[in-house]
Amino acid sequence: MIGNRLWFWFAGGLLCLTLALPGCSRQPPEQALRAAIDELRQAIESRDARSLDNRLADDFIGPDGMDGEGAARTARLMFLRYRNVGVTLGPADVSINDRHATVRVEAMLTGGQGRVLPDAVRVYEVESGWRLDGDKWVLTSIRWEDGR
């Protein structure tokens, strides 16, 4: 009798775990990419250069041949210049092809020294390239144009 109850609870628990696992499985690619973009935005706003570096692919390429090290230096310079950095993104146009993606978005960047109004506000049209490395989306390229 006790053996049957134990088996019942074990089988019931296993069934519940099996039904719950799909909810714990990996996110769909676009959802995971959008989460990576948000993590990148949060890293910029929190002035977290290390998290920013972790999202750059080893073969990252930016404007004028900027590599990942150049991008990290540029970010650190911006973080030194502005105590408060803000990033507001418009709706993203996401195109995924297998393990690669292109994201187009309008971004407003603000920077300031803690006053009520930012010292600088710029709007850019941004196009970024992404690659799925294992289960992590990494930024492979970025280019931007003044959005005026």
70, 74, 73, 41: which is closest to 55 by C-alpha?
Answer: 41
Q: Is residue 2 one of the residues assigned to a domain?
A: no
- How many domains does the chain contain in total? 1
Running DSSP on this structure, what letter comes out for residue 137? Answer: E
Average pLDDT of the segment spanning 116-134: 88
- Residue 147 pLDDT exceeds 80: no
In a domain, 19, yes or no: no
pTM for this entry: 0.76
Q: Is residue 141 in a domain?
A: yes
Within a domain: residue 57? Answer: yes
In a domain, 52, yes or no: yes
Looking at residue 68, its pLDDT comes to 92
CATH number at residue 108: 3.10.450.50
Residue 15 lies in a domain: no
Neighbour-count burial of 15, counting CB atoms closer than 10 A to its CB (0-12 exposed, 13-18 middle, 19+ buried): exposed
In the prediction, which pLDDT does 117 show?
Answer: 60
Residue 80 included in any domain: yes
Tell me, yes or no, whether 58 lies in a domain: yes
Give the mean model confidence (pLDDT) for residues 20-32: 67
Give the structural domain span for 135: 27-146
Q: Which residues is 38 bridged to in the sheet? A: none
DSSP-H helix ranges across 25-130: 29-45, 49-54, 68-81
pLDDT tens for each residue of 45-63: 999 988 888 999 999 999 9
pLDDT of 85 over the 90 cut? no
Residue 109 or 114, more confident = 109
**Confidence class of residue 84 from pLDDT cuts 50, 70 and 90?**
confident
Token pair recorded at residue 72 = 């990290």
